[in-house]
Amino acid sequence: MAVYLALGALLFRGFGLLPGNYTLSKGHGEGAFFLWVLRWTPYAVEHGLNPFVTGYLNAPRGVNLMWNTSLPLPGLLLAPVTLLFGPVVTYDILLVLAVGLSAWTAYLAIRRYVPSRVAAALGGLVYGFSPYMRAHSAGHVNLMLVFLPPVLLLLLDNIVVRQRRTPLRDGALLGLVAACQLLINEEVLGTTALAGALLVVVLAAGHRHQVRSHLPYAARAIAAGRERRSWRGR
């Protein structure tokens, strides 16, 4: 992981010397919105306000920030950085973390299926430093934070294929990680769920004789995951 993070810092070294003053997109467009919401989350928590809704934008009606990719979870976790150094520093740190952590979790996922660590490391590099990531770095840091989809797919593999633990544990972990992704970016969660569903359909079609034996475990795990996610929602 340290190597991937170092490569991320190297990739964005242009503003790394003055992280509190410079960032990609120059603070305009959608980048400016993310700077605002990164400061809004700790402000809302500090003043006992609802972090998911604000009347400070689009007054007097306000804005539902869950429909506007407001990064509530990263904003909360990095609140100490924001309060000490400002949202520009937080934004720049998120850019580095996005590519580094995404590459690392992709490595972990690929390593499960390939014997070579080098091959898995290269796969992680492709995932974390793809043209997709570089293109969105200009203003869509929310779409760059894709380190949880590989984790979700690993958990799905535990549920529908390996089934070595307990359905309650696997399902609870799946629901917890899905809830975290929801608080980072709903679009990425939706596309990951779609990809996972398609993979399960293809897997079931290719191994029809094993579906019946694996179905009870998977059903209990998915039910536990949905319960966990609903509980977090309340």
Give the tens place of pLDDT for each residue, 68-85: 888 999 999 999 999 999
Q: Tokens at residue 116, please?
A: 């070579």
62 & 98 share domain: yes
Contact between 149 and 181 under an 8 Å Cβ cutoff? The reply is: yes
How many C-beta atoms lie closer than 10 Å to residue 83's C-beta? 14
125 & 193 share domain: no
211 & 101 share domain: no
108 & 165 share domain: no
204 & 125 share domain: no
88 & 195 share domain: no
pLDDT at position 231 over 60: no
Q: Using 50, 70 and 90 to split pLDDT, how confident is the model at 134? A: confident
118 & 64 share domain: yes
Q: Domain count for the chain, please give it.
A: 2
Which of 92, 122, 144 terminates a domain? The answer is 144
108 & 212 share domain: no
87 & 202 share domain: no
pLDDT at position 16 over 60: no
Which of 144, 173, 193 terminates a domain? The answer is 144
Q: pLDDT tens digits for 163-186?
A: 887 888 899 999 999 999 999 999
Quote the pLDDT of residue 145: 95
Contact between 103 and 124 under an 8 Å Cβ cutoff? The reply is: yes
Quote the pLDDT of residue 71: 93
80 & 59 share domain: yes
Which of 128, 144, 160 terminates a domain? The answer is 144
Contact between 64 and 53 under an 8 Å Cβ cutoff? The reply is: yes
Quote the pLDDT of residue 17: 47
220 & 123 share domain: no
Integer Cα distance of 150 and 88 in angstroms: 28
- Give the residue numbers spanning the domain of 137: 2-144
Q: Using 50, 70 and 90 to split pLDDT, how confident is the model at 193? A: very high
Least confident segment among 29-33, 51-55, 90-94? 29-33
Q: Using 50, 70 and 90 to split pLDDT, how confident is the model at 211? A: confident
Integer Cα distance of 135 and 72 in angstroms: 23
Integer Cα distance of 144 and 134 in angstroms: 9
Question: What is the CA angle 82-178-204, rounded to 5?
Answer: 155
In this prediction the pTM is: 0.85
* Rg of the chain, C-alpha, whole Å: 19
H/E stretch holding 200 reads helix 186-206
93 & 119 share domain: yes
Integer Cα distance of 26 and 108 in angstroms: 34
Taking residues 127-156, what's their average pLDDT?
Answer: 92
pLDDT at position 27 over 60: no
